[in-house]
Chain A
Amino acid sequence: MVSSAEARQHSSLPQEIKNKIVIEELSVGYSDGTESLRDVSLAIPDHAITVLFGPAGGGKSTLLRTMNRLNDLADVISLSGHVWIDGVDILDPSVDVISLRRRVGIVFTQPVVLPMTIRQNLTYGLELAGERSRSRLEEAVEQSLRAAALWEEVSDRLDDPAIALSGGQQQRLCLARVLALEPEVILLDEPTSGLDPISTGKVEASLQELKEHYTFVLVPHSVQQAARTADYAAFILDGQLIEYAPGKQIFTNPQDQRTEDYVEGRFG
């Protein structure tokens, strides 16, 4: 067992870098009694890709969804701890969740395209945020589709219903939809789980390019992807943070036996 003090010590690793998000002793429990996160502390730096990895059901998605208060909509019965973003505790009830969610975007594992056209899917969030200029909307559509490696495939049918896209295309559309909003933080929950290796490569390359403008928190769909993309990586097991270190270190020289077992594929 790693004590929470130890976890905090791990969590303070990227000291010289500005931390965008600081999670402090976060515990989340759902109404069915499962305690999905226990005492997680983690500091997530700006302009980097921080990867949360670990076996299924460990609480990675729960952690992401807490960071933009989407779990408000789920059956959460117990929530304690703090999530500081730029020094503000976003779990505070007085926080304006609408503007928080504009600053902290998310891409779900299961792509959810809205019942509108491809173009409207991309502009909807911007329009909600008050953007009216046609030309700027057009620009955002093209830029975000290019960044999500989708432009070539859909540029000639932007006004078709988005539901008609293939699963992988929908997933990239969801990524583009978040990029179009230009939030500060982007939470990515297995954003390439339905993609072929080529599209996956393109998306990963985009993320590397974009990370100087964003804070990325990524749940990868494989350990390989974690190793490829991570600037920092956190290993999460059964609701607990086991180890948190720069990516190079955790995948070549893990400190915890359990991390090592998982990274080397000796887990369950």
Chain B
Amino acid sequence: MRELNWREYITTRLIRACGYSAIIFVGLIFIFLLREGSPALVEIPLPSLFSSRWYPIEEYFGILPLISGSIVVTIGATLVSVPLGLSTAIFIAEIAPRWAKEILKPLVEVLAGLPSVMLGFLGILVVAPFIRTATNIPTGLTAFTGALILGMMAIPTIVSVAEDALDAVPRTYREAAHALGATEWQTIWRVTLPAARSGVLTAIMLGIGRAIGETMTVMMVTGNAPVLLTGLESLFRPVRTMTATIAAEMGEVATGSVHYHTLFLIGITLFLISLIVNMAAAGVVFRQRKRAERILS
């Protein structure tokens, strides 16, 4: 009896320590970012920080083009990956015969673990030349190419997580809908998907998260020109994202310089953007759960 209590005590403590240390690490990272990045806010006047020219060698530190680059590539990737990923997940979970499911599911999981550099290769060697000749533009390394490749990269993540969520919906739900005279499609749309809602949303968030944070691939395929996007046609021009800028320039910058501080400031901005996106998603899921709980009590 005593021994059991002991084990219980140690296990609880250990788990709690692990949980807290995760929070502490995130906190420390954020503090570090703040310490290295905040001086930039003092060193560079705000108007030039939010200008449209990024050319650090001549002391132009306008971060708008980088933010717009990241946003455009991410939104593009979302538009590519969410519809395709969800339809694939629905196909695997609800429509495919069992043998096809047993082949497709592991295949998708392997794809989800594909190193991003390999997709970068694919982008440079296949997709970019194709886009260049198809649209007759000087270079195929554009925002559009980046969005396409990142979208393809996010698809397996979305499929894998969303399929798990759909699969977890009890069979009885589908039976109940069928018993009311719903077709396969009506069942999926009105019953299975809503029942799997929070899992499906998590899948989308993980997919978008992967797209926002991705560095290597976008460096390889977006052309890396820090140009502010002005219209739809700039989709087919090179862009530069925040992640690519940090990765490309951090190696050669003098520690403590204005440029160095600005790169950290970009890091903070990236951190905040992902935080907001994640909180928004969690808010949607949470609000719905709250509603059900309120009524239950």
**What total of chain B residues lie within 8 Å of the partner, measured CB to CB?**
23
Q: List CB contacts (< 8 Å) of B171-201 with chain A.
A: 171-183, 186, 190-191, 194-195
* Contact of B173 (CB < 8 Å), options: A99, A102, A112, A160: A112
Q: Does A124 contact B (CB under 8 A)?
A: yes
The verdict on A108 contacting B180 (CB below 8 Å), with A124-B190, A161-B291 known, is no
Contacts of A108 in B (CB 8 A): 172, 175-176, 179
Among B173, B179, B182, B291, chain A packs the most CB atoms within 10 A around the CB of B179
Contacts of B172 in A (CB 8 A): 108, 110, 112
Minimum CB–CB distance for B116 against chain A, Å: 36
Closest to B297 in A: A164
* Contact of A112 (CB < 8 Å), options: B176, B291, B292, B295: B176
Q: Does A116 contact B (CB under 8 A)?
A: yes
Q: Contact at A161–B292, with CB atoms within 8 Å? A: yes
Among A114, A129, A177, chain B packs the most CB atoms within 10 A around the CB of A114
Minimum CB–CB distance for A220 against chain B, Å: 20
Cα–Cα distance between A101 and B187 once the two chains are bound (Å): 14
Minimum CB–CB distance for A191 against chain B, Å: 13
The verdict on A114 contacting B291 (CB below 8 Å), with A105-B179, A164-B296, A181-B181 known, is no
Contacts of B186 in A (CB 8 A): 128
Q: Contact at B178–A125, with CB atoms within 8 Å? A: no
Q: Contact at B173–A115, with CB atoms within 8 Å? A: yes
* Contact of A70 (CB < 8 Å), options: B173, B175, B190, B191: B175
Q: Contact at A98–B181, with CB atoms within 8 Å? A: yes
Contacts of B194 in A (CB 8 A): 115-116
The verdict on A101 contacting B178 (CB below 8 Å), with A108-B172, A110-B172, A116-B194 known, is yes
The verdict on A73 contacting B295 (CB below 8 Å), with A106-B179, A114-B191, A125-B181 known, is no
Among B181, B183, B186, B296, chain A packs the most CB atoms within 10 A around the CB of B181
Cα–Cα distance between A160 and B191 once the two chains are bound (Å): 17
Q: Contact at A68–B179, with CB atoms within 8 Å? A: yes
Minimum CB–CB distance for A210 against chain B, Å: 18
Minimum CB–CB distance for B191 against chain A, Å: 5
Q: Contact at B191–A181, with CB atoms within 8 Å? A: no
* Contact of A73 (CB < 8 Å), options: B170, B175, B183, B195: B175
Q: Contact at A181–B178, with CB atoms within 8 Å? A: no
Cα–Cα distance between A128 and B184 once the two chains are bound (Å): 12
Q: Does A223 contact B (CB under 8 A)?
A: no
Q: Contact at B295–A164, with CB atoms within 8 Å? A: yes
The verdict on A177 contacting B295 (CB below 8 Å), with A73-B175, A115-B195 known, is no
Q: Contact at A73–B174, with CB atoms within 8 Å? A: yes
Contacts of A161 in B (CB 8 A): 291-292, 295
Closest to A120 in B: B190
Contacts of B171 in A (CB 8 A): 73
Q: List CB contacts (< 8 Å) of B115-148 with chain A.
A: none
Minimum CB–CB distance for A214 against chain B, Å: 16
The verdict on A128 contacting B180 (CB below 8 Å), with A112-B172, A115-B194, A116-B194 known, is yes
Closest to B288 in A: A161
Query: Which B residues fall within an 8 A CB radius of A?
Result: 170-183, 186, 190-191, 194-195, 291-292, 295-296
What 3 A-B pairs come out closest when comparing CB atoms? A125-B180, A112-B176, A102-B181
Q: What are 17 A-B contacts defined by CB distance under 8 Å?
A: A73-B171, A99-B181, A101-B178, A101-B181, A102-B181, A108-B179, A112-B172, A113-B176, A116-B194, A124-B180, A125-B180, A125-B182, A128-B181, A128-B182, A129-B181, A164-B296, A177-B180
Kindly list 6 other residue pairs between chains A and B, CB separation below 8 angstroms, not including A114-B173, A164-B296.
Answer: A112-B170, A112-B176, A114-B177, A115-B173, A115-B191, A174-B176
